[in-house]
Amino acid sequence: MLRHGEKMIFGLENNRGLVLDGWNLKAVTIGEDGYTMDDILVHDASTKDNTLQVKLSLMGYDNDLPVALGVIRSVDAPSYETEYENQIADVQKKAPGKSFTDFLMSSSHIWEMK
């Protein structure tokens, strides 16, 4: 189970963990082949770079990695609806009194279909 800020360990005896092998995730047994608890990745659900989170979401498909359970990614970001409403409000500020359609039709970026 993934938990923010904790080592990514798994297995019935919690003796397996995830490490980076180049650009790929690799499952290792802690205490074997020179891998220690210090080598195991710590889960950071709030990092802005989502590279590792994408790799976690793909675990369990065509590889020997377990399926990731828990919160994979948790970032504060505006919703689509909020950004959409902000965009409309910005356009309305640029052309007060006009409808959105009027604004679009009077802009310099229109195409004429013939």
In this predicted model, what pLDDT tens digit does every residue of 32-91 receive, in sequence order?
999 999 999 999 999 989 999 999 999 988 678 999 999 999 988 899 999 999 998 888
Domain-embedded: residue 114: no
Query: What is the residue type of 11?
Result: G
Spatial CB neighbours of 78, under 8 Å, sequence gap ≥ 6: 86
Q: How confident is the model at residue 31 (pLDDT cuts 50, 70, 90)?
A: very high
**Which helix (H) or strand (E) covers residue 20, if one does?**
strand 16-21
Task: Please compute the mean of the pLDDT values over residues 20-40 and round it to a whole number.
Answer: 96
Total number of domains constituting the chain = 2
Residue 101, class by beta-carbon neighbours within 10 Å (0-12 exposed, 13-18 middle, 19+ buried)? Answer: exposed
For residues 82 and 63, membership in a common domain is answered with no
Domain, as residue range, for 99: 78-108
pTM of the model: 0.68
For residues 55 and 99, membership in a common domain is answered with no
Domain-embedded: residue 113: no
For residues 72 and 94, membership in a common domain is answered with no
For residues 56 and 84, membership in a common domain is answered with no
